[in-house]
Amino acid sequence: MEDYKEKLLKTLVEKYRKSKKDSGENKVSKRTVMKPTELYKNYYDNDGDLETIYSINELIIEYKNKGFISFDQAGFGYEIDRVYLIDEKIEEVENYLCKNYEYQSKHEKMQYIRNIIDKYSGITPIATEECEKLRMELNRNRIPRNFELQEDILKALIFIEKNEIDIYLREASMFIYGSSKYLEENTLDVVCKMLRHYKKRPCSENEIMDEILQNFHITREEQKICIKGDCTIYFSGTVLELKYLKNGIEFSTEEIESIEKIVVNSVEFVTVENKTSFNRYLAENAVVFYLGGYMTRYQRNFLYLIYQNNKKKKYYHFGDIDAGGFYIHEHLCRMTGIPFRLKYMSIEQLKDERYLSCLQKLTYNDIKRLKLLSEKEDYKEVVSYMLRYKVKLEQEIVSYYMSVPKELYDKQTADKVYVYL
């Protein structure tokens, strides 16, 4: 019920703040409105939970009595058709949210952006241009998009513009944020788009977005190509049957050009996000490829070659069940055009009793990133579950239990094995 209390007002306030009414640009005055289904999707269904529906109705009446909202009844029943914000009460409603919940008013958000502009403007050319864009948004009475990330974006721009030493991407992330993965997972794409825009270097068809960083002495760590399973590799007049190598093969990215053809003999081809899980993955019925995070140009070229020779195979991706894992999958599909489906990244794994003690709580940033994925067909079912229960899961525990003997799957023995881990 507490979630509904916050969500109802927050939804209406954010709709108002995103509308042209708030910036004074509206030509036609429209009411700020929401449906009860935005709180509880089964509100109008015959099998909807009546206790939940009645609680929502009581809440709407409570806020109406406070003077925050009004509503329309749906016919003669107990159902409510629409809920409206009393626009003149916007400041009062925001103050109520700030006092009772972890909420920032529009004025607080705008002051936050002003402080950022004062702090970072004038340090480097691109950062200064971006600060001026933020200032223009404030002058229009608008909160800049992704305002929470603006300081992190400016930090990255300034570091990258000023960098003069040869470093790897994750080292740059450590220097900027104190975290080796934060840049990749949160700000890399938008920062690289800004750099390309200001340098007038649009991303060509054969480029990866972050290759612009090479102009600033920043490169991704060189990765080996790691693959195992039943496939045949033809290169430089030599034929290699990989099924005879239990742990697969590892070779330099430079050697991709020597490969003439790859034939996948298994039904499935699976990319795996983390090295531990790649090592654990049983390659009896699949060819397994180590991805290692966001795909590089060399990995993309290798995957192109695989797909050209084996279009009728089934393609899967296995990664962490978290926002990063899903974004890696989205990037993989988008950059290769290969229809990778998710494997072992579903509600089934999150509910599995073997993994329950390994579930982690979502952070604020996790929730924000997952919400952006929640409407995408490939992710919405599992993401909705994650947001509801505030959980995520790393893939290493899943791949571990994939590889242990079946006789260890009874609960008592599995518990002992987990304690040992």
Considering 219, 243, 258, which residue would you say is the last residue of a domain?
219
Where does the pLDDT of residue 375 fall: very low under 50, low under 70, confident under 90, or very high at 90 and above? confident
For the cut 60, the answer to whether the pLDDT of residue 27 exceeds it is: no
Side by side, the strands of the sheet bearing 259-264 are 238-241, 231-235, 259-264
9 with 129, same domain: the answer is no
Tokens for 84, please give them.
């409206």
Phi first, then psi, for residue 143 (nearest 5°) are: -90, 125
Where does the pLDDT of residue 413 fall: very low under 50, low under 70, confident under 90, or very high at 90 and above? very low
For the cut 70, the answer to whether the pLDDT of residue 407 exceeds it is: no
150 with 167, same domain: the answer is yes
Segment 171-224, tens digit of pLDDT: 999 999 998 889 988 899 999 999 999 988 888 766 788 989 999 999 887 778
Highest mean pLDDT among 7-11, 223-227, 395-399: 395-399
147 with 119, same domain: the answer is yes
Q: Among 102-106, 123-127, 167-171, 384-388, which stretch is predicted with the lowest mean pLDDT?
A: 102-106
57 with 163, same domain: the answer is no
330 with 412, same domain: the answer is yes
Closest among 229, 225, 232 to 245, alpha carbons compared: 229
| 213, part of any domain | yes
| 56, part of any domain | yes
| 244, part of any domain | no
Report the mean per-residue pLDDT for the chain: 87
| 225, part of any domain | no
Q: Write the CATH number for 11.
A: 1.10.10
| 230, part of any domain | no
79 with 113, same domain: the answer is no
Q: What is the mean pLDDT of residues 300-313?
A: 93
26 with 138, same domain: the answer is no
What does the DSSP assignment read for 268-294?
EEEEESSHHHHHHS--SSEEEEE--SS
pTM (2 d.p.)? 0.64
Answer for the pair 281, 272: CB distance below 8 angstroms, yes or no: yes
State how many domains the chain has: 3
Question: What is the crossing angle of helices 323-336 and 297-309, to 10°?
Answer: 60
| 245, part of any domain | no
The CA-CA-CA angle for residues 284, 290, 293, to 5°, reads 145
Where does the pLDDT of residue 25 fall: very low under 50, low under 70, confident under 90, or very high at 90 and above? low
What does the DSSP assignment read for 355-397?
TGGG-EEPPHHHHHHHHHHTTSTTTHHHHHHHHHHTEEB-HHH
Q: What is the mean pLDDT of residues 313-333?
A: 94
Q: What is the mean pLDDT of residues 381-407?
A: 88
Higher pLDDT, 143 or 393: 393
User: What is the three-class DSSP state of 295?
Assistant: coil
296 with 414, same domain: the answer is yes
290 with 361, same domain: the answer is yes
Domain interval for residue 132: 106-219
284 with 367, same domain: the answer is yes
Specify the pairing of strand 314-318 against strand 231-235.
unpaired
Segment 29-44, tens digit of pLDDT: 788 899 988 888 888 8
294 with 364, same domain: the answer is yes
125 with 174, same domain: the answer is yes
Higher pLDDT, 98 or 417: 98
For the cut 60, the answer to whether the pLDDT of residue 320 exceeds it is: yes
Beta strands of 37-193 (E only): which ranges?
69-73, 80-85, 167-168
Segment 147-177, tens digit of pLDDT: 889 999 999 999 999 999 999 998 999 999 9
Higher pLDDT, 410 or 156: 156
Considering 219, 252, 278, which residue would you say is the last residue of a domain?
219
Q: What is the mean pLDDT of residues 2-21?
A: 82
Instruction: Using the structure block, give the residue that is written with the tokens 């991303």.
Output: 203
| 243, part of any domain | no
| 252, part of any domain | no
Cβ-based burial of 46 (10 A; exposed 0-12, middle 13-18, buried ≥19): exposed
Where does the pLDDT of residue 230 fall: very low under 50, low under 70, confident under 90, or very high at 90 and above? very high
| Contact partners, residue 357, CB within 8 Å, separation at least 6 | 418
Q: Write the CATH number for 370.
A: 3.40.1360.10
Considering 100, 115, 149, which residue would you say is the last residue of a domain?
100
